[in-house]
Amino acid sequence: MTFVPKTTMTRYSTFRSLCLLTMVIAVALAARPVASDDPPKPADDKTILAALDTKYQAAVKANDVAMMDRILADDFILVTGSGKTYSKQDLLNESRSRTFVYEHQEDTEKIVRTWGDTAIVTAKLWEKGTNSGKAFDYAVWFSDVYIRTPQGWRYVFGQSSLPLPEVP
């Protein structure tokens, strides 16, 4: 049997412990999900936002309060071409009451622009239906502002034009 001094045994034990600790850390780091350091691509954001805005218009058409509530930011505000303003709560209450019944609530000529965590969706919206039983049928231009939050994109501000003149 070979005699090993106590200090050599202590150094060997410390070295072995450090190797084991290094291996455990390496395995833990390799097993964790890798978060991408790459920022979201603007093209991806534009696709997501176009779909989200379409989903919002469909929710308005269907008076889907739950979907509208998920998309609208709590401090949302809408300014119409006549200068009237609506809060998130105003729109949700209006939808709950089913004052508006939509036959059409579709947009065209949609353009999505992004600047980091802010985006603007601009489009022409055709609205047709009834408001408290009174028929309406017109188009407006709108710009919707979205911001990226930890919960995803939220619609924070909207502005619409006055109804556009009918095109013969």
What is the C-alpha to C-alpha distance for residues 166 and 168, in angstroms, rounded to an integer? 6
Does the structure show a pLDDT above 90 at 41? no
pLDDT per residue as tens digits for the range 128-140: 999 999 999 999 9
Average pLDDT, the chain: 83
Instruction: Give the mean pLDDT of 139-168.
Output: 94
Instruction: Give the mean pLDDT of 27-55.
Output: 68
Q: Which residues pair with 104 in a beta bridge?
A: 128
Per-domain residue ranges for the chain?
42-160
Instruction: Give the mean pLDDT of 6-18.
Output: 51
Residue 7: per-residue pLDDT: 54
pLDDT band for position 16 (cuts 50, 70, 90) = low
Q: In CATH terms, is domain 42-160 a member of 3.10.20.30?
A: no
% of the chain exceeding 90 in pLDDT: 70
pLDDT per residue as tens digits for the range 102-111: 999 888 999 9
Read off the tokens for 55: 């989903």
Residue 43: per-residue pLDDT: 72
Say how far residue 168 (Cα) sits from the centre of its chain.
38
What is the C-alpha to C-alpha distance for residues 63 and 103, in angstroms, rounded to an integer? 12
Say what the pTM is.
0.73
Say how far residue 129 (Cα) sits from the centre of its chain.
28
